[in-house]
Amino acid sequence: MSTAITRTAIVTGAARGIGATTARRLAMDGFAVAVVDLDESACQSVVDEIESAGGQAIAVGADVSDEQAVTTAVERIATELGRPTVLVNNAGILRDNLLFKMTVADWDAVMNVHLRGSFLMSRAAQKYMTEAKWGRIVNLSSTSALGNRGQANYAAAKAGLQGFTKTLAIELGKFGVTVNAIAPGFIETDMTAATAERMGVSFEEFRDALVAQIPVGRSGKPEDVANAVSFFVGDGAGFVSGQVLYVAGGPTN
């Protein structure tokens, strides 16, 4: 990253897990970071950590699926922190169930956060990127995009994000904006712990069963994803766009 200016990054779903770790990593890389999540107060601890380490950050509460909330949040970030030229669309929820048990509300909730949210955030942020003639959008997909039992909604949303990524890469490339996606495999987070609980098994059992199928022989950590984000948003990745990087410890189908 150029040291001539401080660039501003937005990370959604950043109060915990992959989002929080990514926000901290981008602050270490020299970005001013807007830590965005549904509950603004839940973001404050991440902001405090960044500031304690000498970085710059603000907490922003916003529902990424709400058009007006997104517009207000991005304008506030531009005013208070700086015009954003990096966006990490990480916000996500799970509403797992087999198709015959899945409600319309569960389908819509997942689509609204993952797909609608990424669309609204990208649309709001891209104007600052195109004006600056430099920008980076990173969308969080998942290995579930390849299909996963009990996740028709989540898998469809994450596969949709890959198509969204490739299309934005085509549209925005001429403005110096790259758009890429990261598709994590099993990462140890509160969300995966909740999945184990829902399945009625201990997190250790759940983790060990999955690790047995991972070629590198370990589970993923939020830092593994944050490292990939750090690469994509750097100046050195300017010729990489429209790609889906599987951060999964081995080949995918």
The Cα 157–Cα 144 span in angstroms is 9
Q: What is the pLDDT of residue 4?
A: 53
Task: Look up 246 and say whether it is catalytic.
Answer: no
Q: What is the pLDDT of residue 253?
A: 64
| pTM score of the predicted model | 0.96
Residues 107, 134, 154, 186: which is the catalytic one?
A: 154
The mean pLDDT of 153-169, rounded to a whole number, is 98
Q: What is the pLDDT of residue 224?
A: 98
| Average predicted confidence (pLDDT) for the chain | 96
Residue 144 lies in a domain: yes
Residue 160 lies in a domain: yes
Instruction: Give the chain's domain count.
Output: 1
Q: What is the pLDDT of residue 200?
A: 87
Residue 112 lies in a domain: yes
For 13-82, give the DSSP string.
S-SSHHHHHHHHHHHHTT-EEEEEESSHHHHHHHHHHHHHTT--EEEEE--TT-HHHHHHHHHHHHHHT-
Residue 206 lies in a domain: no
For 146-182, give the DSSP string.
G--TTBHHHHHHHHHHHHHHHHHHHHHGGGTEEEEEE
Residue 5 pLDDT > 80, yes or no?
A: no
Q: Show the domain range for 33.
A: 8-185+220-247
Q: What confidence tens digit (pLDDT) does each residue in 136-159 have?
A: 999 999 999 999 999 999 999 999
The mean pLDDT of 99-119, rounded to a whole number, is 98
CATH number at residue 26: 3.40.50.720
Residue 1 pLDDT > 50, yes or no?
A: no
Calculate Rg over the CA atoms of the chain: 17
The helix/strand count (H/E) of the chain reads as 9, 7
Residue 174 lies in a domain: yes
Q: What confidence tens digit (pLDDT) does each residue in 14-73 have?
A: 999 999 999 999 999 999 999 999 999 999 999 999 999 999 999 999 999 999 999 999
Residue 110 lies in a domain: yes
Q: What is the pLDDT of residue 2?
A: 44
Q: What is the pLDDT of residue 3?
A: 44
Q: What is the pLDDT of residue 197?
A: 84
Residue 134 lies in a domain: yes
Residue 199 lies in a domain: no
The Cα 76–Cα 94 span in angstroms is 28
Q: What is the pLDDT of residue 193?
A: 83
